[in-house]
Each structure stands twice: as structure tokens, then as C-alpha cells.
Amino acid sequence: MHGLFRKKDIDTLLNQSTPLKRSLTAKDLTLLGIGAIIGTGIFVLTGKGALTAGPALSISFLIAAICCGFAGLCYAEFASMAPISGSAYTYSFIAFGELIAFIIGWDLILEYALAAATVAVGWSGYFVNILANIGIRVPTALTAAAGTTPGVHTIFNLPAFLIVLIITWVISLGINETKRLNSIMVFIKLGVILLFILFTVWSVKVANWKPFNPFGWYSIHNGTAAGIIPAASIVFFSFIGFDSVSSSAEETINPSKNLPRGILFSLIISTILYIIMTLIMTGVVKYPVFAKYLNAPVLAVLAQTGQTWLAAVVSLGAVVGMTTVILVMLYGQSRISYSMARDGLFPKVFSKVDQKHQTPYVVTWFFGIITALAAGFINLNILSELVNIGTLSAFILVAAGIMLMRYTQPNAKRGFKAPLVPFTPIMSILFCFMLIAGLNWETWVRFFIWLVLGLIVYFGYSRRHSVLNK
């Protein structure tokens, strides 16, 4: 039993050398965070969120952001104490031991793979639309997985499959190529969002915000949960990704200072943009109208204001925005898998680093291909909420870990200290449980099945091959 909770020592971790290349600054990390956060939330989820909460969706975004803010402060402290690749997996290993670390690493791999695949499917929808507008038609059978749309014959989502493979290739080239591509796309994405705000804010009608909160905090409407809390559980997906910033620790210059800055700056900037966008969208269009524009809610606003010329620009922004989300998700996944392989919990071949590019190329390609196949063949509508429950579980463990580390290792060197401990981690845990409560029971069942599979892998392989076991 003792072996299940054997822990890593922080000093040993800090003294081990890394074959990865350190080149990320606070600005690079902030752009990585924004790249991960801003995408699906604005370009896809605002429609479903508005139908769930009405104009009060802006409060739902704020609640999700506060939840992530409390968690972000805890991540920032851990990142400054243990600037090692692996994010919540590494932090759990230090605080709780091997079994808990494996479970959260297993969850995070599912989170990043499903998130990347889900966003790739949304990317495919916008991309196919852009191609159609310039006269290029992708065969319907190759635009979605089988059974995605009732009554429509589809076999495979070719664009989603290809974009994941292309991004996997970029990540395998090296961290400099990854951050360069991400930075360019983030600036394009922010430019498109600011352009949208500039041209639509004048069309806001205060009457569209009434009633501001039609479904209250939590209610059942037409057989499904509605209101501010269920909408917060939906749009929480928008913020997933800021935690992947902490998985870049071994490629960051002066990580104990730059990692906390990157995490918190990206969260603050993204939250401000989300709230402004939500208020404008529900102010220009009466929220029930979004039912007709579920896949591209921003286009509802442009149709209402008659600025259809902006539609092409916004579609381009959506494609670029989602590309950065896929990029950061796949990047974070490869670094966590690499950390787990280095610890012996996954086969050692996954920890191989390409000497020329200084990237863990085997694990990058392995999970990249699996994610591409998932995006191409699986109907992800039923699985996307699994991403939320996996991430919220990681947040809870990181917050609990901060309280434990303050008690067990009060003198450990911290480049950043989360304020108001234990209040901050306790609030993080409470907000996470509140958002988990907003998810449906099927999500819990699927999460439990994935957890059981993970335990089979751990007791069948990982425990015996663990570096700590030797």
C-alpha cells in the first residue's frame, strides 16, 4: 500500500537536467495561454450558452473564469515550486504520490485528446464553409464522422483528421516553431475579435438584455438544466487550456517567475474579451435566435447587423482561433505523456527526445495520430463534457495539493505564493464541485469507465515499471 503513494522529492526534480530546449518567455506563455483559451468559447459555445442562460451568459463566463482564477493561482504556486513538465500530473506526484498522479495524468491525456479532437471537428465545420464560399466543395461523406447528423450520410471527417496531423508535425519540429506559429495566429485571432467588437457594439439594443436572467441560477427548462450555473458548466470548456501553460515548464526561461505570469495574464485577458463578446452578442440578437446558429453563433450577429462582409473575416478568425487551441492542447498532451514515460509509468520509448529538434517526437506522433483518428471517426458530441469533468478533477487535486504542501513543506522555495491560503484553494475546490454538479449523469458514467481503464493500466504495467519502484 505504501508503494502506491510514494512521492517525488522537489529537490531531486529541480536538480535533474532536461534534454528539452528553454526558450519561452512570459510573453510567449501568455500567448500560449490565450491560444489555448480563446477559440471554441467565442466561435462555437456562445450560442449553446446563450440558449441555456440568456443574456446572463456573461455572468456564467465570469463564474467559470473565477473558478479558473482560483485554480490558476494554485497552479502558479506549484509551477514556481516545481518548474517541471507535466502540469497537474507532476504536482500531484509531489503532493499525493504515484497512484493519484497517474490517475490525474491519465485524465489529462483524455482531456487534451478529446479537447483537441472536439475543437478540430468545430474547425472542420468553419473550414468547409470557407471552401464552399470560394467554390470548393468537400464531399459531404468526408465532412463528419458517421452518425453525427441524423439523416445525413457521413463516413469520416477528413479536414479534422488532416489539421491534427499537420499541427502534430509542427509540434514535432521544435518549441521555437510551435511558439512562432502560435504567436502569429493569436495576433490574427485577437485582431478579428477586436474588429468584430468595433463594428457590432453600435448595434446593441438594451431591450434584448431583458429579461437579463430568464432561467435563474438553476432550473429545468424543456426537460434540460438551464440557468447561470448549467451555462457556466458548458462554457467552462472555453477556459480549458490555461493549465497546459504549466506543462511547458522545462522549456521556459526563469520558469518560477514567468510561468505564474503566463498563466494569470492569459486568464485575465481572455476573461475580459469573453464577457465583452457575450454582452455584445446577446445585446445585438435576442437570445432565442441563436437556436438557428448553434454551430456559428457569431454569424447570427452579423446577419442581424447586415455586416455580412465581416462573415468571411470572422470565419477566418474562427479557423485561426481553433487552430491555436488544437496546437496548445496537443503540445500539453505530449509533454504530460513524456513526463509519465520518463517516470516509467508509460513505455520508455515515449520519453525519447529527438536530438536535432529537442522534442519528445515518439509520444508527440503517437498521441497525435490517435487524436487525428478520433477527430475523423468518432461522433464527439457525446464525449465533449468528459473534458470538463477531467479538468475539474485536476483543478481540485492541484488546489488540495497547495494546502497539503503549505502544511508538509512550509519552507520549500516558492517564486510565487497563492494569496489567502487556505481560502483560495478551498474556493477553487467549491467552484469546481459546483460546475461538476452542473454536468449530466452520463458524463459521470463515462468518466468512471475511463478511470477503471486507467487503474487496469496502472496495476497491470505502470506500478511495476515505475522508476521509483527501482
| Mean pLDDT on 78-99 | 85
pLDDT at 1 over 70: no
Considering only 102-106, 278-282, 391-395, which range has the smallest mean pLDDT? 391-395
Model pLDDT, residue 128:
86
pLDDT tens track for 147-159: 777 777 888 899 9
Average pLDDT over the chain reads 86
Is 301 in contact with 281 (CB distance < 8 Å)?
Answer: yes
Model pLDDT, residue 169:
94
pLDDT at 45 over 70: yes
d(CA 389, CA 372): 22
Residue 14 lies in a domain: no
Model pLDDT, residue 242:
75
Model pLDDT, residue 259:
84
Backbone angles phi, psi at 225, to 5 degrees: -70, 135
| Mean pLDDT on 116-122 | 87
Residue 8 lies in a domain: no
Tally the domains of the chain: 1
pLDDT tens track for 358-379: 888 899 999 999 999 998 988 7
pLDDT at 51 over 70: yes
CATH number at 99 reads 1.20.1740.10
Is 74 in contact with 405 (CB distance < 8 Å)?
Answer: no
What is the percent of the chain where pLDDT is above 70? 97
Considering only 77-86, 174-183, 201-210, 326-335, which range has the smallest mean pLDDT? 77-86
pLDDT at 170 over 70: yes
Residue 326 lies in a domain: yes
Residue 10 lies in a domain: no
Residue 149 lies in a domain: yes
Show the domain range for 149: 23-469
pLDDT tens track for 243-279: 778 778 788 888 878 888 888 899 999 999 999 999 9
Backbone angles phi, psi at 366, to 5 degrees: -60, -55
What's the pLDDT band for 384 if we cut at 50, 70, 90? low
Model pLDDT, residue 282:
92
Residue 33 lies in a domain: yes
Model pLDDT, residue 438:
75
pLDDT at 10 over 70: yes
More confident residue, 236 or 399: 399
Model pLDDT, residue 22:
79
Residue 77 lies in a domain: yes
Considering only 23-37, 53-67, 376-390, which range has the smallest mean pLDDT? 376-390
pLDDT tens track for 288-311: 888 887 777 888 888 888 877 788
Model pLDDT, residue 458:
94
Q: CA-based angle 158:163:164, to the nearest 5?
A: 100
What's the pLDDT band for 383 if we cut at 50, 70, 90? low
Task: State the amino acid at position 68 in one-letter form.
Answer: C
pLDDT at 2 over 60: no
Residue 18 lies in a domain: no
The residue with cell 432565442 is 288
Model pLDDT, residue 275:
92
| Mean pLDDT on 428-454 | 86
| Mean pLDDT on 186-203 | 90
pLDDT at 139 over 60: yes
Considering only 32-46, 59-73, 335-349, which range has the smallest mean pLDDT? 32-46
